[in-house]
Structure 1
Amino acid sequence: PRFAGKAFDTCEAPSLAVMKAWLNSPYRAVGIYFGGRGRGCPTQKELSPAWVASAHAMGWRLLPLFVGSQAPCVYAAAKRPYAIGATPWSQGVREAGEAVRAARALGIGTSSPLYLDIEAYQVEDTRCAATTLSFVRSWNREVRRLGYVPGYYSSADTGIRHIEGQRKAGTQDLPSVMWFARWRGTPALYTETSLHPEAWTPHARIHQYVGNVAESYGGRRMVIDRNAVDAPVARVTTTGY
C-alpha cells in the first residue's frame, strides 16, 4: 500500500487517545520507531499489536522506522555507542532479521516498508563510509529476502547524498525508498538537490522538512517532525479498534 500526503513522526508512539484526537490534524500517516538498539525512545510503552491494529483502523497509515547500529563516524554523540562493528555485512544481516521479527510481532506484514534510520555521518571519512554502506546494503538485501521493502532515512547532505552517489556508480542492494531530512520549512519531495530528479520515483520518497515543532489538535499537544510522503506504508495484518 502507498500513501501520499502529510505525516508526522515523534520519538515515542502516542497513546490511542492522542491518535484519535489528532484525526483533527492535517496528518494521516505516522512514523513509528518499532525497533533497533539505537532508538532514542526504546521503551515504547504504547506500541503493541493492538495499537498498530487500532491506529490503522482509525485511518492512520504507518511508516515503520528501525534505528539500529549507526555509522562509526556519526555526528550525534548520543548515537556513538551504537557504532557498526568490525563485520558490517554480517551485522546488517542480523539486524535485518531483528527488524523483520519486530515488525511481524506488531502485525506489520510482508510487502511493508521498513525504514532504516542512519543518522548524519562524515561521508568524507572513506573508511567509515565504506563500513556504513556495507551494513546498509546487507540490511537491504536481507530485508528484501525476507519479503519486506527496505527504506532508508538519513540526512540529505550525508547519508542520502552517499546513497545517491552509489546509485550513480551502479552499486547493488540499495534502498527502495528514500526518506530524507532537510529542514527547509516547506516540502520538496521531487526537487531535493541531493537526489537525481528521476531517482526513486514515482512513489518512493519522503521528505522530513521541519523538525521539533509543537502542535496541538483535539486538545492534545505533541512535539513532532513534519513529513511530506509519496511512498509505501505498512500492510497491517491484524484488525482491531
Structure 2
Amino acid sequence: MRRLWRAAGRIGAVALTVAGTGGWTAAADRAAEKQVAYRGVQVRVPAGWPVVDLAAAPRTCVRLDVSAVYLGTPGEDQDCPAHLAPGRADGLLIEPARTGRGAAAPETVTPGRRIPQRIVADAAAGHQLRARLGGTGLEVTAGWATDPGRVRRILETATAGPVTAEDPAADAPAGGAAPRTDVAGYAFDRCAAPSAAAMRAWAASSPYRAVGVYIGGPSQACTAPGADWVAARAAEDWAFMPIYVGHQAARGNLLVDADPAVAGRQGTDAADDAVRKAEGLGFRPGAVLYNDMENYDRDRYRDRVLAYLAGWTRQLHARGYRSGVYTGGSSGVPDLSARWGDAGYPEPDVLWSAAWNSHHDVTDAGMGLPAGAGQWTGGRRAHQYAGDVTETYGGVALDIDANYLDVTSPAGADGRLLPGRRLTAGRSTGSATATLTVQPDGELTVRPRGGGRTLWSAGTGGNPGAFAVQQDDGNLVVYRRDGGPGAGGALWSTGTWHSPGAYAVLQDDSELVVYGRDGGALWSTGIRD
C-alpha cells in the first residue's frame, strides 16, 4: 500500500489532475460539456475530462482518483505504481459487460432514465456505483468524490442507440472452495492486479504465495479485479489480502468524522460495503477483510480513528467475517496496541503493520509492538516490511509492496492441514483410524483413534504450548509457543519448504503424508514402510 505518495500520473499523452474537494454544481457542468460516444451510448461529460480509449492504450493505469472517462476493458498489464495516495474523484469507466466464472451481476439502469434511489443509496458508502446499462451490452462504474449528483446526472441524461448486444445473463457463482485469506509466508500488494501471465510466472519462481487486491472503498484509487481473475488465481493456490480503502484520518478528500459517534457509523457502513464487494469476488464468511488506514497524526486523530475501526470490526464480526486493519507502524499500531486487553474495545482479528524496516518477519520488533506483550499472536499478524520496490521473477518485473504474514486459522477435523492452517497445543485432527495431535507438552504425535500406543512422534516434547503450521511454502513446521512463521522458534519440520501449495493429510492407513500440488508425496512418517 502506501507510505510514499505518487503525484497524479499521465494517461496516454493527456495529463490528469487529482481531484480536489471543491463543490460541484450542475450549472457549471452544463456551461462546458462535450459528448462522448461508445458502442451506441452517448454521454455528456465536463469538457475538461480526458477521454481514454483503453483498446488503443491497453497499459493505461485506470485511476479512480482522477476525473476522466475510460472506454473499454482495463488492460491486464496496467502501468500503475505500486501504490497511490487515497482519494476519489468524479469519473466513469464504460466497458463491455463483464462475464466470467463467478462474476456477480450488478444492478441494471436504463440510459436516460432516473436511477432508483435505492441503487444510489447502496453505493453511497463506497462512493462508487457499478451498473449494467440496459439493452446496450455495456456496464458503467461511476465514482464520485463527495456528491453523486454529477455522475448521476451524466447517466440519467445519457442516450443509447439500437441494441448492439444482449445483456449477458448473470453467471452462476463459482464452484469449488472460496478464495482463502489464511497465509503463512510472503505476500505482495500493488495498485493494479497483475496479469494472469505475470501471476503464473511469479507462482512458479517467486517466494510470494499471496497477493493483496483492492476491493473497494470511498478512498480507493486503484481498480478492483474481477471475480473471474480472483477465481483463476485461487485455482492456482494463491491466497489473498482483500483491501478496502475507507475514510482516512488525514489524507485524501474523504475523511473520518471528528465526532467519534459519526466515525463509528462510518466504520459500520464501510464494513457492510466491504462485505458486499468481497462477496461479489467470491469471498465468504470467515475471510479476513482489511481496512486500509494510512498514517496519521496520533495526537490529533487518535480518537476518531479508533472509533471508526471499532465500528469496522464490530460490523464485520456481526456479518461473520474476520476484521483486519492495515495501518502505520508509528500511528495506528501503537494506538491499537494501547487498547489491547480493553474489554470495551473490539480489537481487530489481524493487525497488518506498515513498518518499512529490515525485518522480513512478524516479530514484535518488526511490527512495532511492545516486546513480549503477546499482542496479536497465534496467527494474527502481517507486516509490510518494504514498499515501492521492483522485483523480477520468471522474467516479469512488478512494482510492489512486500509483506510477511502469519495469518492462520485452526485446522478442521478431517485430517487435513491446508496452507495457512494450524494445530495448537491440545488440539487434534484425524482420519477414520488415527489422530494427529499436538500434546500439551508440545509433542506432535500420531496415535490410533480411540487410544493406544504412539505410532509416530516428531520429538518436540518438552515445549509446552508448541503448535504446528502448514506454511504456504509447503513446509509443515512445529514452533515454540513464542515463535511462528516469520518469528522464528522452529522445533521440527518436514523439510518440504520448496513446494508451494503443499498440504498435509493424515490418511486412513494412519500415515501422515505431505503432498505437493501435483498429488505426489513429498514426505511421510514412514509408519507403513
TM normalised by structure 2 equals 0.41
1:90-129 to 2 correspondences below 5 Å: 90-125=265-300, 128-129=301-302
Match of 2:190 in 1: 10
CA drift of 1:168 comes to 4.7
Contact map agreement 2:333 2:353 (CA 8 A) in 1: yes
The correspondence for 1:222, drawn from 395, 398, 413, is 398
1:184 to 331, 338, 357: 357
The Cα offsets for residues 167-192 of structure 1, whole Å up to 9 and x where unpaired, read as 15444212110000111133241223
8 Å CA contact 1:143, 1:149 repeated in 2: yes
2-side partners of 1:183 and 1:7: how far apart? 14
Q: Quick one: distance in 2 between partners of 1:14 and 1:150?
A: 25
Once the two structures are TM-superposed, the CA of residue 91 in structure 1 deviates from its matched residue by: 1.3
What SS is found at the alignment partner of 1:92? helix
**Structure 1 residue 137: deviation in Å?**
0.2
1:224 deviates by 0.5
Stretches of 4+ aligned residues off by more than 3 angstroms: 168-171
What amino acid is the match of 1:139? Answer: W
Query: Residue type matched to 1:115 in 2?
Result: Y
Does the 8 Å contact 1:113/1:232 carry over to 2? no
**Aligned with 2:185: secondary structure?**
strand
Give 1:30's aligned residue: 211
Greater relative contact order, per chain length (Cα 8 Å cut-off, separation 6+): 1
Aligned: 1:51 with 2:229: yes
Number of equivalences: 223
Rounded Cα–Cα distance in structure 2 between residues aligned with 1:232 and 1:69: 28
Note the alpha carbon deviations across 1:168-217, whole angstroms, 9 max, x for none: 54442121100001111332412236324311111000111011100111
State the AA in 1 paired with 2:293.
I
Q: Which residue of 2 aligns with 1:167?
A: 340
Q: Quote the residue 1:146 is aligned against.
A: 319
The one-letter code sitting in structure 1 at the alignment partner of 2:206 is: S
Q: Does 1:194 align with 2:368?
A: yes
| TM-fit CA distance, 1:232 | 4.3
Q: How much does 1:80 deviate?
A: 2.9
For the 8 Å contact 1:204–1:231, the answer to whether it is kept is yes
| SS of equivalent residue, structure 2 residue 334 | helix
Percent identity, aligned pairs only, is 35
What do the CA deviations read for 1:124-183 (whole angstroms, capped 9, x no partner)? 12xx21111111101110011001000110111101110001115444212110000111
State the alpha-carbon separation in 2 of the partners of residues 232 and 161 from structure 1: 23
TM-score between both structures, scaled by the size of structure 1: 0.87
Q: What is the identity, as a one-letter code, of the residue corresponding to 1:230?
A: D
* Equivalent-residue separation in structure 1 for 2:391 and 2:345 (angstroms): 40
Residue 70 (str. 1) matches residue 248 (str. 2): yes
Aligned to 1:238: none
| 1:37 shift after superposition | 1.4
Distance (Å, rounded) in 2 between the aligned partners of 1:89 and 1:199: 23
- Secondary structure, aligned partner of 2:326: strand
Q: Per the alignment, in what secondary structure is the counterpart of residue 7 of structure 1?
A: strand
| Worse-superposed segment, 32-41 or 169-178 | 169-178
Partner AA of 1:59 in structure 2:
D
- The structure carrying a bigger strand percent of its residues is 2
Contact 1:186/1:210 (<8 A) preserved: no
Gapped runs of 5+ residues in structure 1? 236-241
By how many angstroms is 1:64 displaced? 0.8
Cα distance in 2 for partners of 1:58, 1:16 equals 10
Query: 168-177 or 206-215: which moved more?
Result: 168-177
| More off after superposition, 179-188 vs 25-34 | 179-188
Contact 2:219 2:252 in 1 (8 A): no
Indicate the SS of the match to 1:30: strand
**1:218: how far off?**
1.8
Query: Counting helix residues as a fraction of each chain, which structure ranks higher?
Result: 1
Q: In structure 2, how many angstroms separate the alpha carbons of the residues matched to 1:12 and 1:209?
A: 20
Determine the C-alpha separation between the residues in 1 that align with 2:266 and 2:359: 36
Deviation at 1:3, TM superposition (A): 1.7
Comparing 166-175 with 147-156, greater Cα deviation is found at 166-175
Q: In 1, Cα distance between the equivalents of 2:326 and 2:297?
A: 16
**What letter matches 1:38 in structure 2?**
S
- Conserved 8 A contact 2:355-2:368: no
| CA shift for structure 1 position 48 | 1.0
Counterpart amino acid of 1:49? A
Shift of 1:84: 1.2
Report which of the two structures shows the higher radius of gyration computed on alpha carbons: 2
Q: CA deviation at 1:35?
A: 1.2
Residues 188, 403 of structure 2: 8 Å contact kept? yes
Distance 1:160 1:186 in 2: 16
